[in-house]
Amino acid sequence: MATITLGLAGAIGHDPAASLFVEGKLVAAIEEERLVRRKHAKGELPYLAARQCIQMAGLKAADVTQVAIPYAPTSLFSKARWHYAYRHWYAPDRAVDSVFNGNRRFRRYIKELNGLLEKLHIPMSNVKLVTVEHQLAHASSCYHLNESDEKTAILCIDSKGEYSNTFFGVGENGSIKKIKEFYNPDSLCGMYAALTDYLGFEILDGEFHVMNIAPYGDPDRYDIASLAAFDGRHFKVNNKLIGTVGLRRYKAKSRGHYFSKKLVEMLGPRRAGNLLEDPYVHYAAAIQKLYEDIAAVMVTHYLKDILDETGRLAIAGTGSMNYRLNRRLSSLPYVKKLIVHPACGDAGTAIGAAAYAVRQAGIPLEPVNNFYLGPSFSISQCIEACAIHSDRPQWEELDDPYARAAELLANGQLVAWFRGRMEFGPRALGNRSILANPAQIGIVDVINQQVKFRENWRTYSPSILDSVAAETLPRGFQDRYMCISSPVSAKWKEQYSVVVCEDDTTSAQIVTEEENPDFYRLLKSFQEQTGHGLLINATFSRPGEALVCTPEDAVNMFMGTDLNYMIMEDVLVTKREESARW
C-alpha cells in the first residue's frame, strides 16, 4: 500500500495551506487564500486546499495514510516554556500560562484538526498523525527538498512557532540536527516586524515595504542598536521597547501594537505620513541593516564550521522572504550555495511537515523541479469563464499565444498571462502573472494606473531567460524564485531601470526551459521580436488580494481593472467597446 501524506499548515492563525506526497513525490500544494479569495486566509483551516490537493492527485480522502502538521507539543522540561515565562515576568498571566498550560495552543489546534479531518472524510483512527515542531517543518522544507550527499547548514528565521523562532541546524543523510534555537520574545524576525508596525504597516505584508524603502535611507543617521543584541551566546530583544505584551504595549484607537510607548518616546510618533520623509526612511534603512548584521554574525557563529566544509546554506521561515538579507548571506565568503525555499512563509510548512514525515518513514524524496503545484485548467474552462461573466468579455482562440503575447508586449501593452498549474508561494512565477516590457518608457506608470496602484519608488521584478542571466547577473546571486537580490551593472541599470532598485540590485526569476517550457517560450518569442530576453513580472492580483487561481478568478479581476489584454491558455480575452453594450 502506498504511503499518502497530507501536509497541513495554518496552525498559528494565518496562511493555511495543504500539500500531498504520494510516496516520495510531491504531487500537489495549494494555499487556502487562493480558494477563499482572501489574502493570508486568517482564521481559516486548509479545508478547500486539502480537498483540492486530493482531487488533483486523483485520490480519495480514504487513501490518505498519514497527516503531518507543523506544530508539536512542548515539554514542561523544555527551555522554551521557562524562557518565555522568565522573559514575561512583567505579564504574570502570560508567564504562568506558559509554565502550567504551555500546550494550550497545540491542544486547541488538534481539536480543530479533528473537525477538519472529519469534514474531509478522513477518519482520524485510520491515519497516522505526525506532529512536527514548527521550525523543524521550516527546516525540512528547505533541506529535505534539496538533499545532498554533503552536509547542509540550515537557518530558519521566523516570527514564532510554538515558542522557538530562530533555528540553526545541520542536515546530513536525510536527518536534521538542531544546533541552537532562540525563543520568544527574543525573535530577530519579530524585531523587524515591530519596526514594520511602528512604520505604519501591517505585519506579514508590510515587511516588504520596509525592505524596499531601506535603500533610500541612511542606516547610520539614527542609532537603533538598543533594540536587540547578540553577544556570542545570547540573543535578546529589548522588550521594554519591542516584542511587548500586556501593559507594556503601545495602544492607539483601542489597538495594541508590537512595540511600547517607550519606543515612541525614543523614536517619535508612529508614522502616519510619507515613508520617504525623515526620520522614517532612515529607520527603515537602519532596521534592515541591523537585521542583516545580526543574522550574518549569528550564521557565522553557529554554522561557519559546516559552511567551511561544504558551503551549503539552506534557509526558510517568514524572515527569509527578505531577499536583501538573502543577498547578504549569499555574499558571505564561506557560502558557496544558498538555498532559499520559495514558499518560506508559514504556508510552506505544509510541504515541510509532510516532507519530514515522509523522510521519517524512510522514504527518499524525489527531486522537486518546480513549484507549479496548484490546479490547471482547460481551454474550454477558460472559454466558459468568459461566456458566463456578466460583462461578456470578447475572446478568441489563438494559434500561437506566445507570438501574440510578445507582439502586444513589444507594443507597450500589459498582458495578463494565465497558463498551466498555479504557483505555490507568494511570488508569481510566470503562470499567474501580469507581464510588461521592461524597456518601455513609462511602463511602471501604466502598471500602477491600470492595476497595481503602487508607490512610484517601488520597482518590479523581472523574469529573465537563463541564457541572458548567465551573461548579466553574478552566478552566486541567480535564483529561480525571486528570493535573492542580485547586483547589476551600470549599463544594465540604464537599460532596465524599472526593475533595478535604488541600491543597484534586482530580484529576478531565472527561467529555464526545463522548469517552465511555456513561459520560457514566451520569453524567447519576446526576445526574438525585441532583442530583450526579460519581462517585468507582477502578480496576477489586485492590491491586497490573493493570486488568481481559476479562470473565473482571472476574468473577474481582468474585468475589474483597466487591463486590455489577457491570455488564458490559448485564449485571448479583451473587453467589448462601450458602444457594443447598447
Residue 548, pLDDT > 80, answer yes
Write down the pLDDT at residue 161.
Answer: 86
The pLDDT tens digits for 457-474 are: 788 999 999 999 999 898
Residue 314, pLDDT > 60, answer yes
Write down the pLDDT at residue 582.
Answer: 32
The pLDDT tens digits for 84-118 are: 999 999 999 989 999 999 998 899 899 999 999 99
The pLDDT tens digits for 380-401 are: 999 999 999 999 999 999 999 9
Q: Mean pLDDT over residues 545-563, rounded?
A: 96
- Strand ranges (E), 266-393: 312-316, 337-340
Write down the pLDDT at residue 79.
Answer: 93
What confidence category does residue 579 fall into, taking pLDDT thresholds of 50, 70 and 90?
A: very low
Q: Which residues pair with 422 in a beta bridge?
A: none
Sequence-distant (6+) residues with CB within 8 A of 153 are: 168, 169, 170, 299, 303, 306, 307, 310, 312, 313, 314
Residue 368, pLDDT > 60, answer yes
Residue 73, pLDDT > 80, answer yes
Residue 29, pLDDT > 50, answer yes
Measured distance CA(151)–CA(106) in Å, rounded: 32
Q: Mean pLDDT over residues 187-200, rounded?
A: 96
Please report, rounded to a whole number, the percentage of residues in the chain having pLDDT higher than 90: 87
> Whose CA is closest to 80, among 185, 190, 169, 234?
185
What confidence category does residue 311 fall into, taking pLDDT thresholds of 50, 70 and 90?
A: very high
Average pLDDT over the chain reads: 94
What confidence category does residue 580 fall into, taking pLDDT thresholds of 50, 70 and 90?
A: very low
Write down the pLDDT at residue 425.
Answer: 94
What confidence category does residue 159 fall into, taking pLDDT thresholds of 50, 70 and 90?
A: confident
Helix (H) or strand (E) holding 379: helix 379-388
Distances (CA, A) of 170 to 7, 143, 302, 310, 382: 23, 9, 10, 11, 46
Write down the pLDDT at residue 443.
Answer: 92
- pTM of this structure: 0.95
The pLDDT tens digits for 142-152 are: 999 999 999 99
Q: Which domains does the chain have, with CATH numbers?
A: 4-138+346-360 (3.30.420.40), 188-340 (3.30.420), 379-581 (3.90.870.20)
Q: Mean pLDDT over residues 401-426, rounded?
A: 97
Please report, rounded to a whole number, the percentage of residues in the chain having pLDDT higher than 70: 99
> Whose CA is closest to 143, among 303, 296, 315, 334?
315
Write down the pLDDT at residue 124.
Answer: 84
Write down the pLDDT at residue 233.
Answer: 86
Count of CB atoms situated within 10 Å of the CB of 355: 29
Q: Mean pLDDT over residues 501-516, rounded?
A: 95
> Whose CA is closest to 29, among 7, 13, 14?
7
Write down the pLDDT at residue 160.
Answer: 83
Measured distance CA(204)–CA(105) in Å, rounded: 20
The pLDDT tens digits for 529-542 are: 999 999 999 999 99
The pLDDT tens digits for 241-259 are: 999 998 899 999 888 999 9
Q: Mean pLDDT over residues 264-269, rounded?
A: 96
